[in-house]
């Protein structure tokens, strides 16, 4: 009897997933990992959509990101009223402008970040040359960089020259980079 009952209980759970007349519109279980969709009305609460997958909501005023699972009007309302109380009730156009400003700020930051990553690469390249030529590590700071800056001032412009000055080439930095490169080569 018991065995019969167990088998009967198992049946609907195991094989018949599709034919089972499950309710199509299941109630959203908030604790589940269901992916929430960004709704355009969220911008009226100061939140735009991130480009991530799954999409998250990001405050256009301070940049705070709400995880997908927390993308609910109740959280957005609370954020707006506690962190930006002076902007409660502002029209959606206001947040649209803020969103545009925020996006262009992010673009600027990304540009700066990519320049500094180039500076880092340049720093490694210079260190490698110094090591290869067996020159004292101070040569980068005393001669190479000043020479690069002078040359680009003459041949290009002061903007380029200023950008070159962001390349880290101090004595200690060059030593560290060479150790880094050497440990890579030994492996």
User: Which CB, 45 or 126, lies closer to Zn ion?
Assistant: 45
3-state secondary structure 23-79: CCCCCCCCCCCCCCCCCHHHHHHCEEECCCCCCCEEECCCCCEECHHHCCHHHHHHH
User: Which CB, 55 or 163, lies closer to Zn ion?
Assistant: 55
Q: C-beta of 55: minimal distance to Zn ion in Å?
A: 17
User: Which CB, 84 or 176, lies closer to Zn ion?
Assistant: 84
Q: C-beta of 153: minimal distance to Zn ion in Å?
A: 43
Q: C-beta of 53: minimal distance to Zn ion in Å?
A: 22
User: Which CB, 95 or 167, lies closer to Zn ion?
Assistant: 95
- 7-26 mask for Zn ion (x: CB under 5 A)? --------------------
Q: Which residues contact 48 (CB under 8 A, 6 or more apart)?
A: 42, 57, 58, 60, 99, 102
Q: Which residue has the tokens 């030593």?
A: 175
Work out whether 145 is an interface residue with Zn ion (CB under 5 A): no
Round to whole Å and give the CA distance between 57 and 23. Answer: 29
Cβ burial 69-80 (10 Å sphere, 16+ → b, else e): bebeeebbeebb
Round to whole Å and give the CA distance between 172 and 108. Answer: 30
Tokens of 64: 């705070």
Q: Restricting to residues 56-85, which ones interact with Zn ion according to CB under 5 A?
A: 59, 61-62, 64, 83
User: Which CB, 41 or 157, lies closer to Zn ion?
Assistant: 41
Q: C-beta of 18: minimal distance to Zn ion in Å?
A: 44
Work out whether 122 is an interface residue with Zn ion (CB under 5 A): no
Q: Restricting to residues 89-118, which ones interact with Zn ion according to CB under 5 A?
A: none
Residues that bind Zn ion (CB under 5 A): 59, 61-62, 64, 83
């Amino acid at each position: 009897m018991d065995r019969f009952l167990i088998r009967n209980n198992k049946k609907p759970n195991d094989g018949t997933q599709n034919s089972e007349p499950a309710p199509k519109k299941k109630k959203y279980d908030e604790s589940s990992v269901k992916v929430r969709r960004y709704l355009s009305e969220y911008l009226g609460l100061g939140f735009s959509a991130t480009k991530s997958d799954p999409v998250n909501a990001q405050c256009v005023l301070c940049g705070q990101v709400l995880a997908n699972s927390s993308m609910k009007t109740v959280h957005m309302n609370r954020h707006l009223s506690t962190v930006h109380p002076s902007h409660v009730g502002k029209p959606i156009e206001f947040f649209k402008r803020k969103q545009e400003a925020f996006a262009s700020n992010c673009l600027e930051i990304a540009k700066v970040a990519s320049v500094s990553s180039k500076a880092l690469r340049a720093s490694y390249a210079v260190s490698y040359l110094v090591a290869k030529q067996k020159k004292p590590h101070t040569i980068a700071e005393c001669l190479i960089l000043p020479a690069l800056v002078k040359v680009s001032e003459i041949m290009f412009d002061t903007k380029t020259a200023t950008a070159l000055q962001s390349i880290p080439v101090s004595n200690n930095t060059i030593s560290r980079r060479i150790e880094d490169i050497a440990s890579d080569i030994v492996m």
